[in-house]
Amino acid sequence: MKEVLDYIGGAWRKPSSEPGTEVLNPATGEVIARSPAGAAADVSAAVDAASAAFPAWRAMPPAERIQYLFKLKQLLEENFEDLARLITTENGKTLGEAKGELRRGIENVEVACGIPILMQGYNLENVASGIDESMFRQPLGVVAVITPFNFPAMIPLWFLPYAIACGNTLVLKPSERVPLCMARITELIEKTGLPKGVMNLVNGGKPTVDALLDHPAVQAVSFVGSTPVAKYIYARASANGKRVQCQGGAKNHVVVLPDAEPETTTQIIADSAYGCAGQRCLAVSVAVTVGDARKWFTQSISNTASSMKVGFGLEKGVQMGPVITSASRDRITQLIEQGMAEGARPVVDGRSARVADCPGGTFVGPTVLDGVPAASSLAETEIFGPVLSLVHAADVDEAMEMIARNSYGNASSIFTTSGAAARKFRNLIPTGNVGVNIGVAAPMAYFPFSGWKGSFFGVLHAQGRDAVEFYTDKKVVIERWPKEWSRRF
């Protein structure tokens, strides 16, 4: 059993609350750690440490601040394999998926190393005769980051590098279901020699979150998780006067046109639906086939889904791991049953998936539900598991209307060889991330990770320039220096 510790003011400490959530290896069911329930006192200590570190950190030149990020990038590379194995162990995704996640996280460290340019303001001489005006970006102070279970390394790294590179100090709360990966990354951060108190880690559940939302010294909150919690956090933190960005849940659609290339389309959509056991906010949940695509796609996706190897993600050849907990597995199987009750047909049914070597694992096999009624409650519910619903449309307009009706707006994709159809889709579809012949439309670190409607609350998104805007405020300075006030030289 690993001990889950907090990292506050440069020291590792035992959380003051009692153990709460069990941390499991979802492939074996083994309990590997216990997260604390969380306590306001620990949050208070972390925010005090971050507040104390802020004046010196903000005064350090940006070009010096980023030297710690260069060191972090190096340490993440040196520990890449071990970190990826840790992600698989506490989250369940395959080792290949864990490496992919870590790579995307490291890319954000690399982009944040460009802060001396990214953070620059702008200026103009002679806005009026003899008067110059400049805009400077300045850090906010102490910022809080609250993250979900499905990307234990990447999602904290969507925020942490930008927040500190901009001169803020940070309190990060990882998901209580996967605390070990961020603890290991924090050990690496410590090795960079980052000044004490600049980055603090507090563990726990709702009590920890609520204390961060209410603490008067926390200036900004970045959150990623489910939509109900995102709404709650957005409302409570905003009411407390904080700057907030909350990324929520999703129900992503792909549209398959009859002219799509069948083999690659099927492969890409299967990767999107079943990668990370469907526990990705960009996973496709609904495939809308248009016209004749229905026949070939239903057949080919069913063949692919039924041939996937499910198992322990550290084992070679495994294509899909377990879902995070038995509660998740039960919720997903209940949703499959609800879909069937609403008229869907399980062409591939993963409810009884078992993995011989892993009897304690929480597995759900890849599932294909055909004919999910567009008006059913399942068509609107985020399943967050390896379940692909198939719905059918007469033409691309009908398919796009179905997507537009959905309350989420995280991502959508179209598969076609027609430029005109792709262009129309890209232009009109109301989701924040859009793929054209792409299954997981995940923006690179130097683009904002968008998300619209019920998938995002706020204005500025994670990553890239949006992150820099979110973690800084603008100061505008107007200056007049009349010649006659100056001594002559």
Which residues of the shown chain bind ligand NAD in the complex (CB under 6 A)? 146-150, 173, 175-176, 205-206, 209, 224-226, 229, 232, 247-250, 281, 382, 384, 410, 449, 451, 455
Q: To the nearest whole angstrom, how small is the minimum distance from the Cβ of residue 281 to ligand NAD? A: 3
Q: To the nearest whole angstrom, how small is the minimum distance from the Cβ of residue 132 to ligand NAD? A: 41
Nearer to ligand NAD, 232 or 274 (CB): 232
Nearer to ligand NAD, 245 or 333 (CB): 245
Among 465, 466, 468, residue whose Cα is nearest residue 456? 466
Q: Is 181 a catalytic residue?
A: no
- Where do we find the tokens 């990307």? 151
Helix, coil or strand: residue 303:
helix
Q: To the nearest whole angstrom, how small is the minimum distance from the Cβ of residue 425 to ligand NAD? A: 21
Amino acid at position 335, single letter: L
Active-site residue, selected from the candidate residues 113, 166, 276, 281: 281
Nearer to ligand NAD, 33 or 293 (CB): 33
Q: What is the tally of helices (H) and strands (E) in the chain?
A: 15, 23
Q: To the nearest whole angstrom, how small is the minimum distance from the Cβ of residue 176 to ligand NAD? A: 5
Q: Which helix (H) or strand (E) holds 409?
A: strand 408-409
Q: What are phi and psi of 391, to 5 degrees?
A: -130, 160
Q: To the nearest whole angstrom, how small is the minimum distance from the Cβ of residue 162 to ligand NAD? A: 15
Gap between the Cα atoms of 254 and 470, Å rounded: 31
Nearer to ligand NAD, 272 or 304 (CB): 272
Amino acid at position 208, single letter: T
Tally of CB atoms within 10 A around 71: 16
Among 301, 310, 374, 382, residue whose Cα is nearest residue 342? 374
The separation between the first and the last C-alpha atoms of the chain, rounded to the nearest angstrom, is 73
Structure tokens at 94: 């395959």
177-199 exposure pattern, b = at least 16 Cβ within 10 A, e = fewer: bbbbbbbbbbebbbebebebbbb
Nearer to ligand NAD, 294 or 461 (CB): 461
Nearer to ligand NAD, 88 or 304 (CB): 88
Structure tokens at 254: 């792909």
**Position of minimal CB gap to ligand NAD:** 225
Beta bridge partners of 146: 173, 223
Sign of CA dihedral 173, 204, 384, 427: negative
Q: Are 380 and 342 in contact (CB under 8 A)?
A: no
Q: Which helix (H) or strand (E) holds 13?
A: strand 11-13
Q: To the nearest whole angstrom, how small is the minimum distance from the Cβ of residue 39 to ligand NAD? A: 14
DSSP 124-155: EEEEETTEEEEEEEEE-SEEEEE--SS-TTHH
Q: Are 104 and 154 in contact (CB under 8 A)?
A: yes
Gap between the Cα atoms of 221 and 47, Å rounded: 13
Structure tokens at 383: 């399943």
Nearer to ligand NAD, 99 or 177 (CB): 177
Nearer to ligand NAD, 118 or 233 (CB): 233
Q: To the nearest whole angstrom, how small is the minimum distance from the Cβ of residue 63 to ligand NAD? A: 31
Nearer to ligand NAD, 15 or 167 (CB): 15
Helix, coil or strand: residue 408:
strand
Q: What are phi and psi of 321, to 5 degrees?
A: -95, -170
Nearer to ligand NAD, 146 or 348 (CB): 146
Q: To the nearest whole angstrom, how small is the minimum distance from the Cβ of residue 455 to ligand NAD? A: 5
Q: What are phi and psi of 254, to 5 degrees?
A: -120, 145
Gap between the Cα atoms of 422 and 441, Å rounded: 14
Q: To the nearest whole angstrom, how small is the minimum distance from the Cβ of residue 128 to ligand NAD? A: 45
Q: To the nearest whole angstrom, how small is the minimum distance from the Cβ of residue 247 to ligand NAD? A: 3
Sign of CA dihedral 61, 62, 63, 69: positive
Supply the residues annotated as catalytic.
Answer: 281
